[in-house]
A and B are shown apart, each in its own frame.
Chain A
Amino acid sequence: MATQTSQSLGGLGQSVKRKEDVRFIQGKGNYIEDIYLPGMIYGAFVRSPFAHALIKGIDSSAALEVEGVLAVVTAKELAEHNLAWMPTFAGDTQAVLAGDRVLFQGQEVAFVVATSQYTAADGVERVEVDYEELAPVVDPHKSLEMPVIRTDKEDQKDNLIFKWDAGDREATDRIFNEAEVVVSQHTEYQRVHPAPLETCGCVANHDPVTGHTVIYMTSQAPHAHRTVFALVAGHVGLEEHKTRVVAPDIGGGFGNKVPIYPGYVLATVASVLIGKPVKWIETRTENLQSTGFARDYHTTTELAASKDGRIRAMRVRTLADHGAFNAQANPSKWPAGLYSICTGSYDMEAAHVEVNAVYTNKAPGGVAYRCSFRVTEAAYVIERAVDLLARELDMDPVELRRKNFIPKEKFPYRSPTGWVYDSGDYHAAMDKALKIAGYDELRKEQAEKRARGELMGIGISSFTEIAGAGPRKQFDILGLSMNDGAEIRVHPTGTVTARLGVKSQGQGHETTFAQIIAEELGIPSEKIIVEEGDTDTAPYGLGTYGSRSTPVAGGATVLAARRIREKARRIAAHLLEVSVEDVEWKDYQFQVKGVPDKAKTMAEVAFAAYTNVPDGEEMGLETTFYYDPPNFTFPFGTYICVVDIDPGTGEFKIRRFIAVDDAGTIINPMVAEGQVHGGLAEGLAIATMQEIRFDEQGNLLNSSFADYLLPTAVETPDWELGKTVTPSPHHPIGAKGIGESANVGSPQAIVNAVVDALSHLGVTHIDMPITPWKIWQVIQEKGV
């Protein structure tokens, strides 16, 4: 038999084609809208047209007259079952349906259940709600001076949600007081929305006879969602052992499908009440107006430095707008997520970060949008500030970065806010990016163009990301440890079924986790099926977001496989009639040490595991492993953006975008590149077109894709990718996770490029999204 290689197995580092694509490209995916159950009925929401109002009454009679409308559920009915409120992942409470007041436009007020989606829509139009409008709190900067929004919370005396800080205030202030150079900039990181192509939805099916409930839902974290369901609604029959949450194929999540939404609860309640399967699925508008937004961080960033360009300290003051309920998805003890990673790639003496979060009359959220818990916001403020400092010092931004990078020798590196960076080689990634870009040539070209009055800019971002939440001593969500399980079953004929507690929404888990197992067990990846998303079958896990699947579930998968290999080795020794110590795992098979042709493949061992086990050994070849990562992983990279601006119209074109990523060991280079492409497109969108905007009355101004923009192939440049590989020293295969780096790293590269193009005019900052009219406006202001 020919020896197996990583390539023949489809193992680590191989660009194996994505298994899931076979069904996706044939239109055979199975999304919520594809699920039809016999007798299924439909639910739709009556939503508040106002951002802030009292509800004086709800009259459902006309709606109930529409033929096919079966029920109209309001907060009153929910309250009878103690279900009018639900906990959020951030430990706040959220109205499932508004009771006496609505707190944001689009808030759920009543749930109409009907025999079809059409009649449900007609019913929604006929529910009459009597509102008395109240003044809304729209501007987060004024929120603390305004009347209390959350009158439902007895101890809430103002609109502050939390005040949180990290780092050393005194040491930081001391350095700032004595610093030779200080730069300061206020930036508004606008509210954006992850806008997954598939909106949120579910089909809930309660069986009144058995008392079992199956909920198919768009869930990035099926297990966590089931547990919350059981905690909140166990008393009405949704006990965990009788409830099955199934996340089928998911059309993108990006953090938007982490929270629990009222629609899931109401579809389930309706199914319990009526005894039929109930489908609820959002329209695009509903998704944009009511589900988890991202960012909305408003920050003053300061850097203290020496005249020769040593960054000494960083001070960050952030105001965070969380909307009407604190429904952000962050680990319990980390209200601002991992934001204190904001010292980024730079070695400095001290830092202090403070975040004040406030309520406003806007949709709740604060989810990740492809960024592990506020890391995008952190990377943005540091990378913008470093550029400002470079300007202030009249230094090349590359030179300043290089001078302050945490040197390779200093890893593991303890940051001034307490993180221990696992590994890094920032200079190498920078060098590679500069080389691909031809940086010196570009600067020369820029100088020539500038002399001719043409506008061209080069923007750099050397970001550090933090992924893989997280070690259970520090990380939980509502008390649930952020560990994840992997179960591997090797079948008698040598094929494998593996099940994970995470849930792919497009990341390619079915392919990449099979590759990990192939590498560890010597079984071809095409013989390995990876299943996720069904709480009845998959081991527990907290789901997929925050680039945690590979760092956490990937670790679990490797260690489960190695546990299997241990047992397999004993069986192999039995088959080879030698002692276990004489058997080694080499070339993806078990060999008698020094006698390579006395060997057994994993498939042979698997068969023996069910037919010929040695005495004292249990039959079978399967295991489950729960992985508690010892630390986070710290992916990083350098991105370079080249932009040309039309001075007459402010239109700009991203001519080139170079992205060099280091995510440690790469499992599938093609899948990793795909992740980077997607993240870059989102970063471009955030930097240049996306913003969830409200008018003064709190009306959402962009409630469809006509106004909330997604870039197309026309707007996206030809991404030029590169990579360096600095494995994580603590992860079983050295992988760090790549899902979110590109979104974390890219927006500021674009902003820096545009500002760089205009810097000789005295422009120091432009808030995102950067549009032609904003550029034109600053050009006018500078009197050019």
Chain B
Amino acid sequence: MIPSAFEYYAPGSVAEAIALLKTHGDEAKILSGGHSLIPLMKLRFASPAVIIDINGIPGLDYVKEEGGFLKIGALAREASLESSPVVQQKFPLIADVVKVIADPQVRNRATVAGNLAHGDPANDHPAVMLALGAEVELTGPGGSRTLPVSEFFVDLLETALTPEEVLTEIRVPVPPAGSGGAYYKIERKVGDFATIAVGSQVTLDSGGRVTAAGIGLTNAATTPIKATDAEAYLVGKSLDDATLEEAGRLAMAMSDPSSDSRAPAAYKKAMVKELTIRTLKRAAERARGGQA
């Protein structure tokens, strides 16, 4: 429960942080909320030689609506999403998810950016951001680049971030009127990582037909999954039972969970279908102006 020795830096700006990353390369790790990194370090599963603590960098802890996006700064904590009026009003899917991530103590500290940057398919935000079609801003020595979040997750605990980059902002497009979303997480107890979870986002036209759909799967493979087949299938359809069933089946077909101490793979797979159906239903209700 005691990490190996490491060097500690607390840069005062993003530029300084990047300079440190450039100097130390692979040896260094960014520390934000620390709630993924420190558990690994204290078990000595990770022993970075250098820790770059970005918590002292001013101006990164915002959650705001701007230019058609919800913008989440690198140091915005989970808890600030919980209390954000924009999130409450326009992003029922995010409002759902932040309530089921860990516990209040963890959420007070853990950052949304860290949740994505960790590249863990068991984290809840990746699937949600995939469902919402978010993009991420990655800043390195040569400046910033923007990437759709669907291109961010490379492999288990591996993302598109290069060793010299910092994830500086997450941008989620504000959904048009007639949109709704929902998250359903099966967990062994409160605060646990998902056994399996699904997040769905839909936009309906006035006739109740789907104009846009986003579905993200948590802990359903070695990376977070965007259930694109199901998303594509849904566009132009009404959400009747047969359609929901088929969307669930298509989402399930894209999942590839493994058996672990939470549940056998067969259960998780079946639940991808079940939860896809449930979250689509709830998302549609919310899109129609039901309880957000």
Contacts and interface: CB of A to CB of B under 8 A. Distances in A.
B189 A715 contact: yes
Contacts of A773: 195, 263-264, 267
B44 A125 contact: yes
A54 interface: no
B264 A648 contact: no
Contact of B186 (A121, A649, A712, A714): A649
B2 A121 contact: yes
Contacts, number: 57
B270 interface: yes
Contacts of B266: 777
Given A648-B274, A776-B270, A122 B4 contact: yes
A285 B274 CA distance: 35
Q: Which of B5, B186, B264, B267 has the most CB of A within 10 A?
A: B267
Nearest to B39: A706
Contacts of B271: 649, 776
B192 A776 contact: no
A712 B191 contact: yes
A328 to B, nearest CB: 26
A72 to B, nearest CB: 17
B1 interface: yes
B192 A712 contact: no
Contact of B190 (A121, A712, A771): A712
B206 to A, nearest CB: 31
Contact of B189 (A125, A284, A711): A711
Contacts of B195: 772-773
Contact of B261 (A121, A702, A777): A702
A121 B264 CA distance: 36
Contact of A771 (B39, B188, B275): B188
Interface in B228-269: 261, 263-264, 266-267
Contact of A117 (B2, B4, B43, B189): B2
Interface string A235-255: 000000000000000000000
A709 interface: yes
Interface in B1-30: 1-2, 4-5
Interface in B145-195: 186, 188-193, 195
A283 to B, nearest CB: 4
Q: Which of A122, A648, A693, A773 has the most CB of B within 10 A?
A: A773
Interface in A762-784: 771-773, 776-777, 780
A651 interface: yes
B137 to A, nearest CB: 31
B5 A715 contact: no
Contacts of B192: 706, 709
Contacts of B267: 650, 772-773, 776-777
Nearest to B275: A649
A118 interface: yes
Contacts of A648: 274, 278
A701 interface: yes
B29 to A, nearest CB: 19
Interface in A246-279: none
Interface in A741-778: 771-773, 776-777
A473 to B, nearest CB: 46
Contact of A283 (B1, B4, B5, B261): B1
Nearest to B271: A649
Nearest to A120: B2
Nearest to A713: B190
Contacts of A776: 267, 270-271
Q: Which of A125, A284, A771, A776 has the most CB of B within 10 A?
A: A776
A693 B5 contact: no
A707 B267 CA distance: 18
A409 to B, nearest CB: 46
Contacts of A709: 188-189, 192
A310 B271 CA distance: 44
B115 to A, nearest CB: 16
Nearest to A708: B261
Contacts of A715: 189-190
A689 B193 CA distance: 14
A284 B43 CA distance: 11
A117 B3 CA distance: 11
Contacts of A285: 1, 43
Contacts of A702: 261
Given A117-B2, A283-B1, A693-B261, A772 B186 contact: yes
Given A689-B189, A711-B189, A284 B1 contact: yes
A771 B192 CA distance: 14
A699 to B, nearest CB: 12
Nearest to B44: A125
A591 B190 CA distance: 60
A714 B102 CA distance: 13
Nearest to A712: B190
Given A285-B1, A773-B263, A776-B270, A651 B186 contact: yes
Nearest to B263: A773
A67 to B, nearest CB: 11
B64 to A, nearest CB: 32
Contacts of A706: 39, 192-193
Nearest to A283: B1
A109 B274 CA distance: 49
Interface string A665-708: 00000000000000000000000010001000000011000110
B254 to A, nearest CB: 20
Q: Which of B2, B44, B190 has the most CB of A within 10 A?
A: B2
A283 B39 CA distance: 13
A669 B274 CA distance: 46
A283 B3 CA distance: 13
Contacts of B190: 712, 714-715
Interface in B262-292: 263-264, 266-267, 270-271, 274-275, 278
B247 to A, nearest CB: 16
B2 A118 contact: yes
A224 to B, nearest CB: 30
B191 A649 contact: no
Interface in A331-377: none
Contacts of B5: 122
A701 B44 CA distance: 17
Interface in B187-216: 188-193, 195
B2 A771 contact: no
Given A125-B44, A709-B192, A712-B190, A771 B274 contact: no
Contacts of A772: 186, 195, 263, 267
A709 B278 CA distance: 27
A106 to B, nearest CB: 14
Contact of A701 (B4, B186, B188, B261): B261
A693 B260 CA distance: 11
A689 B188 contact: yes
A701 B259 CA distance: 13
Given A283-B1, A773-B264, A776-B267, A649 B189 contact: no
A714 B2 CA distance: 31
A201 to B, nearest CB: 13
Contacts of A693: 261
Contacts of B264: 773, 777
11 contacts: A121-B1, A121-B2, A125-B4, A283-B1, A648-B278, A649-B186, A649-B271, A712-B189, A714-B190, A773-B263, A777-B267
Interface of B: 1-2, 4-5, 39, 43-44, 186, 188-193, 195, 261, 263-264, 266-267, 270-271, 274-275, 278
Given A284-B1, A285-B1, A707-B261, 7 more contacts: A121-B1, A701-B261, A709-B189, A711-B189, A712-B189, A772-B195, A773-B264
Interface of A: 117-118, 121-122, 125, 283-285, 648-651, 689, 693, 701-702, 706-707, 709, 711-712, 714-715, 771-773, 776-777, 780
Top 7 nearest A-B pairs (CB, nearest first) are: A773-B267, A121-B2, A714-B190, A773-B263, A283-B1, A648-B274, A709-B189
